[in-house]
Structure 1
Amino acid sequence: MKKTLVALAATLAVSAAFAQSSAPAAASAPAASAPAATHREARVEERITELHSALKITPQQEDQWSKFADVMRENTHTMGDLYRQRVAQRDTMTALDDMKQYEQITQANAEGTKRLVDAFEPLYASLSPDQKKLADANFRGSGREHGRGAGHHHAHAAAPAAASVTKP
């Protein structure tokens, strides 16, 4: 149960990072998506660095950590591509196209979350009891803090600023 809560918190945290950085891109012209993507990627790299430090990852845990961090990066890239597509097509989409694209984004988010959980589980298992406490506190705080932001953007899910990804 605790692992599930940590993974959920991780998901909410990544979702919020993407949500916060994707909204400006969606609100502006499609050309603005490149800087937003760069910002999104930088924010994910920042979060990866923060978590690495906060969790006190040891050299023995680096392999599991790298797999987890790579999934975060892949999820960010995948969602960025989908949102750039959405922004580029927003003026020509029908209501049905919009719903189908949102379905695609939601599906990619669910698949990304599963990959993130799958990568986090062995990492979490490798953590010492003290590291697990740090992870639990860190993710719990991030989920609460970023969850509100993610929820706000989810309310606008049908708009080009639809938001969700996976972020610890």
Structure 2
Amino acid sequence: MKRVVLAGLAALFAGGMSIALHAWSQTAPGGPAGGPAAPGAHAQMAHHRGPMPLPSERVEPMLAFAKASLKITAAQESAWNAVADVVRKHAKARDEDVKKMRAKFDAARDAKTPPTPPNGIEMLQQQQQRLTQRAKDLDELLTAAKPLYASLSDDQKKAADRLLHHARGGMGGRGGPHMMGPH
């Protein structure tokens, strides 16, 4: 479980909330060694516990874990809060995306028809919109993160680098098996 939280948290800082949330949604507690759960486990868990929490409902534990892992000092608190506020803002913005997606699937379920998939051009346009928003989010996150990173000790920077490196999937930069790079 700790590995799952670490991967999700690091992804949060490396590529914004959307990557982290995707990673967490693909990994369930109880999978082997904190890894992916058995096939079908997500459907079973979702059936028993209701819908997955909204991004803003999951961000605080991730931020607390990062803050503790980085051992943020009182002198770094202001810079940390700037980063945390950006992450919270992005999570709140993702809530609306999740709500729209849920409404679409609920409507399709109620109508007993599968959701209509976008055509090829619509799919490319949606991807372009997501990437444009992700770029804006990353710019905002970088603006907040640079002062924090500059204030970190060498040991804290190593911890931050490990978190970020792990989230991006090492040298390949693909974010691990469930974070299939940029999308």
Structure 1 length as normaliser, TM-score? 0.65
In percent, how many aligned pairs have the same letter? Answer: 29
Runs of 4+ in structure 1 off by over 6 angstroms are: none
Structure label with greater radius of gyration: 2
Match of 2:36 in 1: none
2:180 is the counterpart of 1:151:
yes
Please name the residue that 1:111 is paired with: 136
Contact 1:37 1:80 in 2 (8 A): no
Letter in 2 for 1:150: M
State the alpha-carbon separation in 2 of the partners of residues 49 and 72 from structure 1. Answer: 12
Any stretches of 5+ residues in structure 2 without a counterpart? 1-9, 27-41, 106-114
Residue 132 of structure 1, CA deviation: 1.2
Q: Which residue matches 2:84?
A: 69
Q: Is the 8 A contact 1:17 1:43 kept in 2?
A: no
Q: Is the contact made by 2:86 and 2:140 (CA closer than 8 Å) also made in structure 1?
A: yes
What are the equivalent positions in structure 2 for 1:129-168 lying under 5 Å apart?
129-144=154-169, 147-148=175-176, 149-151=178-180
**Kept after mapping to 1: 8 A contact 2:16/2:137:** no
Unmatched 5+ stretches in structure 1:
1-6, 158-168
TM-score after normalising by structure 2 = 0.60
Q: 2:94 aligns to what?
A: 79
Residue aligning to 1:48: 63
- Equivalence for 1:59: 74
Normalized per residue, the structure richer in helix is 1
Paired residues, number: 141
Deviations 1:85-143 (A, max 9, x none): 24534736753554433332222211111111111000001112221122112222233
Give the aligned partner of residue 38 of structure 2. Answer: none
- List per-residue Cα deviations over 1:31-90 (Å, max 9, x = no partner): x9x94343x334322211111001110111111101101111111221231243245347
Give the whole-Å Cα distance in 1 for the aligned partners of 2:97 and 2:17: 16
Contact kept, 8 Å, 1:54 with 1:134, in 2: the verdict is: yes
Q: Which has the higher contact order (CA 8 A, sep 6+)?
A: 1
What is the SS of the residue equivalent to 1:147? coil
Aligned twin of 1:17 = 20
